[in-house]
Every structure is written in structure tokens, then in C-alpha cells.
């Protein structure tokens, strides 16, 4: 199937899926998913529990091999590419807080992340001072994400919301073209939600963001495009106003379907 993304007006498509599907021992978890994720846009993937959102994320990052369909990243077919290579090509998934080293400071955490794209192996037996040359870049990233005040705090001492921001900062050290965020607002209080929403908006000005998010007011607030999944298939796609008015989406969220 030809991908007609190159001719579209507006921001360019950086990640795209066509006819994406995944079966688990005969059970179809994802089927016929078409997705275009654009540079400088925030795209939400929403849907009720078990709709297939995480499976789609795992397929896009190649943690799972699709049963059907094609995935393209920056114009290259990555359907059969290994996850580590996909990450190096610019599709990076933000992992949970456990990806942060709690005993290291904010700055040290960012520096450890920064040494990866520099092509250095992560050599934990080297003193952290060996990463001094990364100070300037680390501080730039820290400032960008509003963490300067907490630069010398141990990650363990940060608030929950700021841990998530630090985790996003470590992901941005790889300068991804596409950032996948898995429920970035999960477990956060309202104040942290607003802060992290602002950060995601900023971060997306220089890359594409695809996020799974259950907080629909955040989706309404910051996402340019929303794709709604139900039972592994797309039931609506468009801006928030369009999809939230769709009767199938209303039914799916009210849980009144069998």
C-alpha cells in the first residue's frame, strides 16, 4: 500500500503506521490501525481499558513485532527493525520513573543520559566527574525543562511530578524526532498535571509527541490530534472537539456497549 504522506500540507509526518495489527495466540489485540504522527504536534492515543493502546505503543517501538501492517519512521520502513535501532533512529519511549537513578542528582541523571547519544558505553565504574564536559548541555536541558532550581537535588527528593519531568529530560537527551509518552499524568495532582502539560507542549515544539493519556481534560487542552481505539480498532480520529462529539466515542466511554 502506498503511503501518501509526502504530499500532505502542514507539518511533516515523522511516524506512520498502515494496517497495523497484532494477534496474541489467535486473539486480535490490534487491527487495521492507521496512524500519522506529525512534527511539532501532540497526538493522543485514547480508549477504554484493554483497547490496545499499550500494544500499539509496543508495536511502534518494536518491542512487539506486528502480525500485520507497516511502520515508517522519518521515511524509512521500520516494520522489521530492532527496537534499539529504532530508538537510535529517533523514536524514543519515555519509561517510568524507575529509569531514573534515585541516588544521583538531577544534573547527574541528565549527564548519564547525555553520554548515550555521544556513543559512549554507559560505564558506571568511571567517576561521574568524567562526565564534566557534559555540564553545559545538561544545564541547558535542565533549564529548558524548568528544573534549574532542583539541579543539585537527588532525584529521590523530587516531587512526583518533577520526577516525571526529569524522566522526560533524560529521554530528550537522545534528541528524539518522536517522543512516546505512556500516561505521563498518571498518579499526579492537579498542580503537577498543569506543570507537566506545559513541559510537554514545549517539548513538542521541536519534535512529534505521541501520548497515551487517560486524563481527557489534558488531552483536550494540549493535544492537536486524537485517535480513539476500542477493541483494537480505531473508532474515531481528529481534533478533540470532533472525536468527543462522535457517538461511538461517547458510547465507548460511557461503557454502555456490550
By the criterion CB under 6 A, which residues form the site for ligand ATP? 24, 27, 29, 47, 49-55
* Residue 6 burial (10 A CB sphere; 0-12, 13-18, 19+): exposed
Taking the least distance from each CB to ligand ATP, the nearer of 40 and 54 is 54
Strands 225-230 and 42-46, bridge-based pairing: parallel
Taking the least distance from each CB to ligand ATP, the nearer of 66 and 90 is 66
State the nearest-atom distance from the C-beta of 14 to ligand ATP, in Å.
22
Decide if 195 contacts 224 (C-beta within 8 A). Answer: no
Taking the least distance from each CB to ligand ATP, the nearer of 24 and 160 is 24
Of 51, 46, 41, the closest CA to residue 223 belongs to 41
State the nearest-atom distance from the C-beta of 58 to ligand ATP, in Å.
8
Of 16, 40, 18, 15, the closest CA to residue 30 belongs to 18
d(C-alpha 181, C-alpha 257), whole Å:
29
Element (H, E) at 113: helix 106-114
Determine the distance from the C-alpha atom of residue 207 to the mean position of all C-alpha atoms in its chain, rounded to a whole number. 11
State the nearest-atom distance from the C-beta of 64 to ligand ATP, in Å.
8
Taking the least distance from each CB to ligand ATP, the nearer of 65 and 130 is 65
Decide if 59 contacts 66 (C-beta within 8 A). Answer: yes
Taking the least distance from each CB to ligand ATP, the nearer of 177 and 212 is 212
State the nearest-atom distance from the C-beta of 18 to ligand ATP, in Å.
19
State the nearest-atom distance from the C-beta of 219 to ligand ATP, in Å.
14
Amino acid at each position: 500500500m502506498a503511503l501518501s504522506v509526502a504530499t500532505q500540507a502542514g507539518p511533516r509526518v515523522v511516524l506512520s503506521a498502515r494496517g497495523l495489527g497484532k494477534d496474541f495466540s489467535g486473539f486480535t489485540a490490534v487491527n487495521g490501525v492507521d496512524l500519522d504522527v506529525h512534527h511539532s504536534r501532540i497526538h493522543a492515543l485514547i480508549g477504554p481499558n484493554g483497547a490496545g493502546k499499550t500494544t500499539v505503543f509496543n508495536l511502534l517501538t518494536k518491542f512487539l513485532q506486528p502480525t500485520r501492517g507497516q511502520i515508517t519512521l522519518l521515511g524509512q520502513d521500520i516494520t522489521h527493525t530492532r527496537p534499539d535501532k529504532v530508538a537510535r533512529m529517533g523514536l524514543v519511549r519515555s519509561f517510568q520513573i524507575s529509569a531514573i537513578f534515585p541516588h544521583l542528582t538531577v544534573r547527574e541523571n541528565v549527564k548519564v543520559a547525555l553520554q548515550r547519544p555521544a556513543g559512549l558505553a554507559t560505564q558506571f565504574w568511571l567517576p561521574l566527574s568524567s562526565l564534566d564536559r557534559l555540564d553545559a548541555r545538561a544545564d541547558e536541558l535542565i533549564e529548558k525543562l524548568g528544573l534549574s532550581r532542583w539541579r543539585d537535588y537527588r532525584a529521590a527528593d523530587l516531587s512526583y511530578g518533577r520526577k516525571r519531568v526529569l524522566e522526560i529530560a533524560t529521554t530528550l537527551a537522545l534528541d528524539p524526532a518522536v517522543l512516546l509518552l505512556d500516561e505521563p499524568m498518571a498518579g499526579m495532582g492537579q498542580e503537577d498535571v498543569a506543570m507537566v502539560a506545559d513541559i510537554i507542549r514545549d517539548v513538542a515544539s521541536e519534535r512529534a509527541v505521541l501520548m497515551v493519556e487517560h486524563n481527557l481534560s489534558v488531552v483536550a487542552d494540549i493535544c492537536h490530534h486524537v485517535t480513539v481505539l476500542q477493541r483494537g480498532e480505531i473508532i474515531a480520529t481528529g481534533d478533540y472537539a470532533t472525536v468527543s462529539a462522535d457517538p461511538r466515542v461517547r458510547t465507548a466511554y460511557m461503557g454502555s456497549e456490550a
